[in-house]
Amino acid sequence: MCSGSEARPPLPPIAGGGEVPKERELVLRAADGNRLGAHDASADREGGPGILILPDVRGLHTFYRELALRFAQAGIHACAIDYFGRTAGVGVRGTDFDHRPHVDQTTDETIAMDAAAAIGHLRSSAGGGATAVFSVGFCFGGRNSFNLAARGHGLAGVIGFYGRVARHPGDAEDTPVELAERYACPVLGLFGGADPSIHPEDIEAFRTALDRAGVRNELVVYDGAPHSFFDRSHEQFRDACDDAWRRILTFIKGTA
């Protein structure tokens, strides 16, 4: 179960501070003509790393807008996207938005096209001129973030929080375990040890597939942490959140 509308991203460990990111709502256009909503937060400098943020099943909402800001404050240009431009149009939605019918109409292909639009934006001067672009996703977005490594986007690395990696009944698209042999960049996976939707053997199968393919990877399981543990209101999982931030920033710094 994804976190509720009250969830907020934990604060990253930022040395120094003082940067004032530029935030704005955007409408990007995918290769098929789709107009998709996005939230852009540019770090206070040109160049350097950028990150595409892929939300959970609810699409672009407050958690991910704030997360983009947190990345920008850490010196990383960020762009969070919405999935539902094709079926729900563009615009800020209320907490009562019924996302499920729209999720069911997404495909790996349409999400990859929308991701490509945001990646192009991050590389442009309007998006900060990022010289190395990463992706990070959560739950539904975590799985899609992993699989962008096989999409030819030239990403420097992919990061996924509690994204399902192995095939489950009803899955229509290829899974990360199945696509790992086509991954073209390093992988960082962050999982809750008490997440009933992702089994330990699935994570190990993903690790094995990545190792077999020669893909550099780090898959971390936080004992006792649930699905959607990365949340500022979960004080009992603060250590896991802090560690996850450190690993993300180290991954980006070491790969960019």
**Domain 21-130 shares a fold with domain 132-256:** yes
Q: What are the start-end ranges of the E strands in the chain? A: 22-29, 35-42, 49-54, 77-81, 132-138, 157-161, 187-192, 217-222
Place of tokens 């206070």: 44
Residue 51: DSSP 8-state = E
Yes or no: domain 132-256 corresponds to CATH 3.40.50.300: no
Side-chain-facing half-sphere of 81: CA atoms under 13 Å: 34
What digits encode the pLDDT tens for the residues 202-243? 999 999 999 999 999 999 999 999 999 999 988 899 999 999
Q: Label residues 154-191 b or e (16+ Cβ within 10 Å = b).
A: ebbbbbbbbbbbbeeeeeeeebbbbbbeebebbbbbbb
Across-strand partners of 52? Answer: 79, 135
pTM of this prediction exceeds 0.85: yes
Does residue 20 have a pLDDT over 90? Answer: no
Yes or no: say if 26 and 9 are a contact pair by the CB < 8 Å rule: no
* Mean of pLDDT values over 154-162: 98
pLDDT of residue 250: 97
| Number of CB atoms found within 10 A of residue 72's CB | 25
pLDDT of residue 256: 67
Q: How far apart are CA 175 and CA 55, in angstroms?
A: 18
pLDDT of residue 3: 60
pLDDT of residue 14: 66
What digits encode the pLDDT tens for the residues 22-81? 999 999 999 999 999 999 999 988 999 999 999 999 999 999 999 999 999 999 999 999
Confidence of residue 95 (pLDDT cuts 50, 70, 90): confident
Q: How far apart are CA 100 and CA 98, in angstroms?
A: 6
pLDDT of residue 182: 97
pLDDT of residue 170: 67
> Over the chain, what is the mean pLDDT?
93
DSSP string, 177-219: HHHGGG--S-EEEEEETT-TTS-HHHHHHHHHHHHHHT--EEE
% of the chain surpassing 90 pLDDT: 83
Q: What are phi and psi of 74, to 5 degrees?
A: -90, 10
Confidence of residue 16 (pLDDT cuts 50, 70, 90): very low
Q: Which of 137, 139, 119 is nearest to 129 (CA)?
A: 119
Looking at 3.40.1050.10, 3.40.50.720, 1.10.645.10, 3.40.50.1820, the CATH number of the domain 21-130 comes to 3.40.50.1820
Domain residues of the chain, as ranges? Answer: 21-130, 132-256
Yes or no: say if 121 and 51 are a contact pair by the CB < 8 Å rule: no
Strand pairing of 22-29 and 35-42?
antiparallel
* Mean of pLDDT values over 162-177: 84
> End-to-end distance of the chain based on CA atoms, in angstroms?
32
Confidence of residue 154 (pLDDT cuts 50, 70, 90): very high
Confidence of residue 21 (pLDDT cuts 50, 70, 90): confident
Q: What are phi and psi of 129, to 5 degrees?
A: 65, 40
Confidence of residue 98 (pLDDT cuts 50, 70, 90): very high
